[in-house]
Every structure is written in C-alpha cells, then in structure tokens.
C-alpha cells in the first residue's frame, strides 16, 4: 500500500483487489422513518441466491458498535430507537436491482408509546463557586433568559461507499473514516474476524461535521458480514447524515443596581437522541462554554443529558462548547437590553481585565478578546446599528422593521478534555532511524497541507532543512491508534504533541543507540484545567427578514480573530469563512448575492498552543446570529435553525396576541 496526495486530500492507494463490479454485491440500506417503534412485520419478497438480506439477527458476532464505553445496535432488531436507524441491508448484483427489490420489502411498525428503553445517562454535571444569594430581601433585580437550539438531523445528500473484500486471511475495508480503529473494532465485534487481519483503506473525504465517524463503522460491519456470507466483495452505498442535539439553556441572574450580574445559575439541557455517545465529555465541553466571562460572586452551572427517540447526536463539530458559548453570548445581549445599553458597552462595563480561573478554563487575560470585540464593533458600526434597529422596531411594530444585528466574542479551546485524555490513551510514536530519518506511527492522517507543515515543523527541530526525511508510516496492523479526527484535534492539539515529541526526540537521539523511538500521548494530558484556552475572536452578524418570502438573510459578517501561531494564513482564513458560511446555512439563513465576510486575523505570538478554529468560529457565529435574529424576529422566533414557515407562524401568533 502506498499513499499519495491530490488537491489537499490524502489518498491511500489501497491494494484494492482488482475485482470486477460484475462480481460484486451492491448493498443499500433500509432506514427507519420514525423512532420508538416496534417492528411488527418485515415482509421480504422471494429472493434468489444473488440477493442477500442482512438483518440484526444475521450478524455472526455482536450487533453493537461501541464507542468510548457506550454502545448502540448496528441494526435495529425488534425495536426501532430512532429515525434513520438501519433496519436491514439488501445486497444485489447491481444497485438498480437492489433499489427495485427494496421497494418490494414490506415493513410494518407499531408505536411503542411509553415503553421506550431507558438509556444509561450520566448524572447532571454541576459546577459553581461562591455562596448563592436567594434575593429574599429584594436587593437585586432578578431576570431570566432562555436560549434554545432545535435539533438538526438531516442527510447531506452526498453519497459515499464502504466496501469490504477478503484476500486470504485478511478482511479489507475501504471507507471514508474519521477513525480507522473504530472500523476495525466494530468489524471484529460483528464478524468475529480478528482485528489484526482487518485492514482499513481510507478513502478521501471531507467532513463538515462527524458524518464519517460512526456510519462508516456500522456499514463496514454489515458489508464485511455480507462478504463472509457470499464470499464476494460487498459494497454499501448511502448518504451521509448528521445530527445536532436539541439544546436549551435557562439562566437566572441577579443584577445589582448598576445592572451588573452578581449571582447566576445556568441550566443546560441537552437531548442527545436515542443513544448518547461520550455524554460525559459533552458535559465538560458544554460547561466550559457555559461559564460566563464576567465576574460573579456566585455561579451554579449544570449540564443535564436527556434522551429521546431521535437520531443520535455525537460530536457535530463542537461537542457542545460552541452551543454553550453561543448561549452565554446570547445571555449577555439580553442583559444589555435590560440595562438599556448596547451589548458592546455593557460588556465593557461588566467584564474585567482577567477571567476567573475555573476547573474548566484558565483565568486568562481578556485583553486580546476585547481587542477583537472592539475591532468588529468599529468595522460594523455595531452600536449605531443596534440602537437604530431597537428604536425602529419599537416605532414600526409588527412586520414593519425586520432587521437585526448581533455580536459575540469568546476564546477557543480544542480537542478532548484532560479527564478524557487520561482515560483514553491515544498514542503515536516518533522514531529516529539509523538512516537519520524520522518515522511517525500514527493513525492520524489529515490533509496534505497540514502534513506538509507537520513535516516541516518536525524536521526544523531535529533534521533542519530536510522535511523529506520525515515519514508518516503507512496504515497497517501495527498502526497506533491516535483516536478520532474530530474537534479539529488533529490539526490543533496533536500538532503541539508532535512538536513536543520532536523536541524530546532531538535530545535523546544523541544519547541512545539508534533507532530510538518515543511513544507519546496524542492528547493534552498535562493541562491544569479541563481545557486550555487559545485564540480569541469576535463576530458581528447582520440579518434581515424578507417581508415577502419570510426568509431570513444574512448580509454581512464582521469577524476579528487572534491566534497564537498561524501556520498557514490562507488555510486558516478559508477554514474560518467555511465554518461561518456553514453555520449560517445550517441554521436556516439565506445567503444573498451581496453577502460579505469581513475578516481581520492577527497573530499574537504569545505561546504555542493552537486552538480549534471551527469550534470557536462556530460558537461565535451561532451566538451573533441568535442575537441578530432575536432583534429582527422578536420574541417568538427564538430558536435556531429557523425556517420561513416558522417565522411566518411566529408573526401570526404575535399578531394574534396583539
């Protein structure tokens, strides 16, 4: 096997057995339409020997996919837990036959009612400081805010394939995947095939969320089962799917006579769907975003995970930090409204120079974050527009003035928490060979540009001027599991790990006999807090709802970001732009032809920690957008994503009430 690069995509040129498509089985999946149902009848047409149906009972091993200690059935057996769950796979000589035969399959289901399975969910995570005041003497002004995000669960209309074939004692899987080891584990569990003999060939992929984390492993297990049963290469073709959990954050705050918050409680409820993957980590990430940046005498935060018969949400690009950060930013703007000032001026009034040190995020200097905020406020004329919109809204009332501007600012984090890093133990190994080359054994393979930068950074530290002497080993049975490529950890926290390993290897290479290897953690296990902050940003967002179509459009985004190290400015800018655009679109915004993103990116050169650009940009966009939509659409249209239908409904209700 060898690898090559093309258009920024790493390609593993799999030793794909040269089988003809005519000698292959093509599989498609039957997905559930609703959750919380029982399969009362599954009627299959007469199928000859060229067809194969695989249900939950046909897997030779366990019908489960395990993920950080929690599991989910690969295929629904008697009960359907969530819409889009796989009910069966049908393999045929070609996709046309499979499609036509699938339409002959009769599936009858009945609602389960209240009998839904109890999910094993973690306890509510709580964190806080100070003694809380109950405001019994009415000394403080009490107010509540409510932030909601509706679940997003949809197909991305992009086909991908997972192929399995046998070659002697080896089972080959070809799939786009964000975690090769999960595929090997799942296939081993489902088929009993020894993990050592399962070889994964990674197909190029672009993941906007985490589409290639769980689905490819599920499909691989099913395709491998079909291959074992038929002795033929088997392929499954399906669309990508992603799901963001439903989130609600309720805050209760006591304000002093200057409208400054003094005591605050924040209760976040997250519905992760039918199965919760990594809920404890979700709680930690969310708590980090939930802690406000301003000083408080007392704070109580809680993150509660619930379940419902809805598609399972897992990472979705942020694992809760972005959503929680957006909720905090939304909350600050509501407090500013109460104080009768603009959100920017209000922030300047309540935020101190340094943030409080907590178990989740260090007490960093707020200076850089404030500079970002000032920059977007100036560029967007935020204060003027915010005030004008507020006055106009009061003047025109219903359906008269549909413009809004919102702002958000915050700090970036990246990767998994310190607690999870200690529990998991993902590794990589760097070796200085006798030929004075450096080899790296890792399952983490990412884009060409990142790999190129990694090679340069490593070579600079050990073999200056010879990046070609840094080699990433091909995937094989001995590849070390570096963990999933999610939360931008491979381009952010892993970079730091590689740097540190290179520094240490540079020292020990002169003291020990070659080849000398260094096995290192692929996580940030040494941080004092759960997360290390890095990178700051602010975003302002201008929206307008079209009176005729009721479609909300975003006209301008102003963003200012500061990162400690910028490895590749063009990639960074593109990544920011893409994340902003994607967040706007997935939250129901129309992007008109005149839409512009005005970005100001700077480097502060303070330290070497690199943050996840996506988590930060996503959270800030979501926060700024929520604030802008709140101003434009009023009290009824408060949850994102929002559709024209919902805005129409909201205005109808508002009109009705008035």
Partner 1 sequence: MKIDCTIDGKTLTLSLNSDKPLSLILRDNTGDNDTVNHCNGAMCGLCTVLVDGKVMLSCMVPAFEIRGKNVTTFESFRKSKNMKDIEKAYESVGSYPCPECYASRSLIFESLIDEGITNPEEILKELSIVKCPCMDPEDEIMIVRRGIEIRRKRNVRRSQFA
Partner 2 sequence: MYEGLSSPNIHTPKNLSEYATVILHYPTSSLWAGGTFIMSRPDSYPSRKMNAEIIYLGDIEELHRFQRNDRFAEFGAMVTLDEILSTGKAVLPGALIENIQKIGSRLITRRATIGGTIATKDFTTSFPGTLIALDATAEVRFIKKKRLHSRWLQITRLLDKSGRIVLPPQGMISRVRIAFIEKNCQYFKEVGSFMLDPENSVAVAFTAMLDQDILINPKIAFTYPTHGVCYSRDIDNIFSSLRFPVYDEELNTLESMIFTFIESSFQNISPLQKTRTRVLLYEIIDALNEETLTIPTEER
**Nearest distance in Å: CB 378, partner 1:** 21
**Do the beta carbons of residue 586 and residue 578 sit within 8 Å?**
no
By CB under 8 A, tell whether 584 contacts partner 1.
yes
Residue that is written with structure tokens 């007490």 in the block: 363
- Our finding on whether 547 is near partner 2 (CB under 8 A) is yes
Euclidean distance between CA atoms 1 and 525, whole angstroms: 33
Report in angstroms how near the CB of residue 205 gets to partner 1 at its nearest. 8
- Residue 92 contact partner, candidates partner 1, partner 2, none, CB within 5 to 8 A by sort of partner: partner 2
CB of 283 to partner 2, least distance (A): 37
Among partner 2, partner 1, none, the one that 644 touches (CB under a kind-dependent 5 to 8 A) is partner 2
Binding mask 64-93 for partner 2 (x = CB under 8 A): ----------------------------xx
Nearer to partner 1, 234 or 272 (CB): 234
Please tell me the count of residues contacting partner 1 according to CB under 8 A. 31
The CA-to-CA distance between both ends of the chain, in Å, stands at 69
Shortest separation between residue 7's beta carbon and partner 1, angstroms: 6
Q: What SS3 class is residue 436?
A: coil
Across the chain, which distance is largest between two alpha carbons, in Å? 83
CA dist., res. 112 & res. 39, Å (int): 10
Regarding 596 and contact with partner 1 (CB under 8 A), the answer is yes
User: Site for partner 2 (CB under 8 A): which residue of 13, 100, 471, 514?
Assistant: 100
Handedness of CA 125, 128, 131, 133 (dihedral sign): negative
CA angle 289, 294, 298 (to 5 degrees): 90
Closest of 103, 39, 107, 41 to residue 76, by C-alpha: 39
Nearest by Cα to 581 from 592, 570, 591:
591
Convert 421-441 to b/e letters by CB count within 10 Å (16 or more is b). Answer: beebebbbbbbbeeeebbbbb
H or E, element range at 133: none
Q: How far is the CB of 593 from partner 1 (least distance, A)?
A: 5
From 101, 203, 480, 584, residue interacting with partner 2 (rule: CB under 8 A)? 101
135 to 164, contacts with partner 1 by CB under 8 A? 157-161
Selected range binding partner 2 among 195-203, 225-233, 457-465, 542-550, rule: CB under 8 A: 542-550
φ and ψ of 121, to 5 deg? -115, 150
Among 97, 390, 446, 575, binds partner 2 (CB under 8 A): 97
d(CA 596, CA 592): 9
Find the helix or strand (DSSP H, E) in which 618 lies: helix 613-633
User: Binding of partner 1 at residue 206 (CB under 8 A)?
Assistant: yes
Task: Select 90 or 266, whichever has its Cβ closest to partner 1.
Answer: 90
Q: How far apart are CA 418 and CA 422, in angstroms?
A: 6
Contact map string, positions 520 to 559, toward partner 1, x by CB under 8 A: ----------------------------------------
Does residue 583 contact residue 625 with C-beta atoms inside 8 Å? yes
**Interacting residues with partner 2 (CB under 8 A):** 50, 92-97, 99-101, 547-551, 644-645, 648-649, 652
Residues contributing to the site for partner 1 (CB under 8 A) = 7-9, 21, 94-96, 157-161, 203-204, 206, 208, 570, 573-574, 577-578, 581-582, 584-585, 591, 593-597
């Amino acid at each position: 096997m060898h690898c090559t690069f093309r258009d920024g995509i790493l390609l593993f040129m799999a030793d794909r057995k040269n089988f003809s498509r005519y000698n292959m089985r093509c599989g498609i999946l039957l997905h559930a339409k609703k959750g919380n149902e029982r399969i009362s009848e599954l009627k299959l047409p007469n199928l000859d020997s060229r067809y194969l149906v695989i249900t939950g009972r046909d897997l030779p091993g366990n019908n489960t996919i395990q993920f950080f200690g929690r599991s989910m059935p690969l295929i629904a057996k008697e009960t359907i837990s969530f819409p889009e769950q796989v009910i069966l796979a049908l393999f045929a000589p070609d996709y046309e036959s499979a499609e036509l035969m699938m339409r002959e399959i009769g599936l009858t289901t009945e609602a389960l009612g209240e009998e839904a399975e109890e999910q094993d969910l973690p306890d509510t995570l709580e964190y806080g400081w100070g003694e809380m005041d109950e405001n019994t003497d009415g000394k403080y002004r009490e107010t509540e805010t409510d932030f909601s995000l509706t679940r997003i669960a949809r197909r991305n209309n992009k086909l991908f394939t997972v192929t399995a074939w046998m070659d002697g004692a080896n089972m080959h899987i070809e799939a786009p995947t964000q975690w090769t080891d999960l595929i090997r584990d799942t296939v081993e569990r489902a088929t009993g095939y020894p993990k050592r003999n399962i070889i994964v060939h990674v197909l190029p992929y672009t993941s906007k969320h985490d589409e290639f984390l769980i689905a490819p492993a599920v499909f691989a297990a099913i395709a491998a089962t079909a291959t074992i049963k038929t002795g033929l290469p088997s392929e499954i073709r399906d669309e990508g799917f992603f799901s963001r959990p439903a989130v609600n954050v309720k805050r209760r705050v006591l304000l002093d006579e200057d409208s400054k918050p003094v005591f605050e409680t924040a209760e976040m409820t997250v519905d992760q769907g039918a199965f919760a993957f990594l809920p404890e980590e979700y709680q930690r990430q969310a708590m980090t975003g939930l802690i406000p940046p301003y000083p408080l005498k007392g704070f109580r935060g809680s993150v509660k995970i619930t379940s419902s018969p809805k598609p399972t949400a897992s990472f979705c690009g942020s694992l809760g930090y972005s959503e929680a950060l957006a909720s905090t930013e939304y909350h600050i703007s509501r407090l500013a409204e109460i104080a009768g000032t603009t959100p920017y001026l209000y922030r300047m009034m309540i935020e101190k120079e340094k943030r409080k040190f907590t178990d989740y995020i260090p007490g960093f200097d707020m200076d850089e974050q404030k500079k970002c905020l000032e920059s977007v406020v100036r560029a967007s004329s935020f204060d003027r527009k915010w005030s004008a919109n507020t006055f106009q809204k009061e003047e025109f009332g219903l359906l008269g003035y549909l413009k809004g501007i919102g702002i958000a600012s915050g700090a970036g984090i990246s990767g998994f928490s310190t607690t999870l890093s200690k529990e998991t133990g993902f590794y990589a190994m760097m070796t200085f060979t006798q030929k004075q080359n450096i080899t790296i054994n890792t399952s983490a393979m990412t884009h060409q540009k990142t790999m190129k930068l990694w090679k340069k950074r490593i070579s600079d530290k050990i073999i200056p001027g010879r990046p070609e002497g840094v080699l990433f080993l091909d995937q094989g049975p001995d590849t070390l599991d570096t963990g999933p490529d999610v939360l931008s950890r491979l381009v952010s926290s892993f970079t730091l790990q590689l740097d540190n390993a290179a520094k240490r290897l540079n020292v020990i290479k002169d003291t020990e006999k070659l080849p000398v290897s260094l096995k290192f953690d692929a996580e940030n296990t040494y941080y004092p807090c759960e997360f290390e902050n890095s990178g700051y940003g602010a975003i302002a967002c201008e929206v307008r709802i079209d009176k005729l179509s009721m479609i909300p459009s975003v006209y301008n985004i102003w963003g200012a970001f500061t990162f400690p190290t910028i490895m590749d400015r063009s990639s960074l800018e593109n990544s920011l732009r893409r994340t902003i655009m994607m967040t706007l679109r997935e939250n129901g915004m129309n992007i008109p032809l005149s839409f512009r993103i005005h970005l100001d990116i700077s480097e502060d050169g303070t330290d070497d920690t690199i943050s996840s650009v996506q988590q930060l940009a996503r959270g800030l966009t979501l926060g700024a957008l929520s604030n802008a939509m709140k101003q434009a659409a009023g009290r009824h249209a408060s949850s994102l994503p929002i559709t024209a239908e919902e805005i129409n409904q909201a205005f109808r209700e508002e009109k009705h009430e008035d």
